[in-house]
Amino acid sequence: MDHMTDLNGQTFLVTGANTGIGKETVRALAGRGARIVMAGRSEEKNRAAMKEIADETGNTDLDFIPLDLGDLASVRSAAATFLASGEPLHVLINNAGLAGSRGMTPSGFELAFGTNHVGPFLFTELLRDHIVASGPGRIVNVASTGHYRAKGIDWDAVRRPTVTRTAFDEYCVSKLANVLHAQELGRQLQGTGVTTYSLHPGAIASDVWREVPFGLRQVMKLFMKSTEQGARTSLYCATSPDVAGDTGRYYDNQREKAPSKVVTPELAAELWERSEKWVTES
């Protein structure tokens, strides 16, 4: 890749980093000399991924902090753990996500929306000032082309359990929220030296589909890209000098792309306002 620059002295925090696209993202960053903090639910899986990546790249500058994005108390604890270390944070990659699961989060949101948007929103807010202070920096939201399917956000539905059988409609709304979040955050951070991005990694054969029935999952994977291919646009947004001056935009296949027509400054501002209120109350 033409944007393979040396990342020595740069600290990256990647959520959902022990599998799939997140793991490939960490592998590539580690190979370029970055320091990486992996945030996720399973310490065992993260430690195993860290060992594998360290053995392969020779980079042992990898750490783990526990994080369950569906539980806002866990989000607060993870952010506090990182901030207590006193180390800088140059790039936050909000990679973790789930699809195909139904229910509600421990913090009272529809499962996909709470895990894919509300948790990352709070995590980003808690780390935001520190990223600015460490800057220049970047905040990257891994979204999805699924956001084009969402007609908007039903503010009541996101506070109730999943309604659809496949949970795909709810997933698409959560990914729309990722794009809107990056857009509004980019607007708010203008002039700080911190830029924001949202992206579609491609239809990827990753663990995000783990709740889809096995037979259907195997068929789906035939038409999907590898996780290594899926990490490319995340890496592009997180490290490429080509997009250093851009902010709040949406990318697909390492190129800027127009997001859904539903992505407006007005809806982004309303989502922000409601999200602030939700995380204050929860």
Rounded Cα gap, residues 37 and 11, in angstroms = 8
- Told to judge if 250 belongs to the known catalytic residues of this protein, a careful annotator would answer no
Amino acid at 52: E
The DSSP-derived string for 54-104 is HHHHS---EEEEE--TT-HHHHHHHHHHHHHH-----EEEE-----S--SB
Of 225, 191, 184, 233, the closest CA to residue 208 belongs to 225
Residue linked to tokens 């620059």? 5
Of 134, 63, 123, 125, the closest CA to residue 94 belongs to 123
Q: What is the pairing mode between strands 194-200 and 249-252?
A: parallel
The residue from 171, 197, 236, 251 that is catalytic is 171
Max Cα-Cα span within the chain: 50
Q: Find all residues with CB under 8 Å of 213, minimum gap 6, and list them.
A: none
Q: Is 40 exposed, middle or buried (0-12, 13-18, 19+ CB in 10 A)?
A: buried
Using omega within 30 degrees of 0 as the cis cutoff, is the peptide bond preceding 136 cis? yes
Please, what's the b/e burial string for 60-95 (b: 16 or more CB within 10 A of its CB; e: otherwise)? Answer: eebbbbebbbbbbebbeebbeebeeeeeebbbbbbb
Length of the chain: 282
Residues acting as catalytic residues: 171
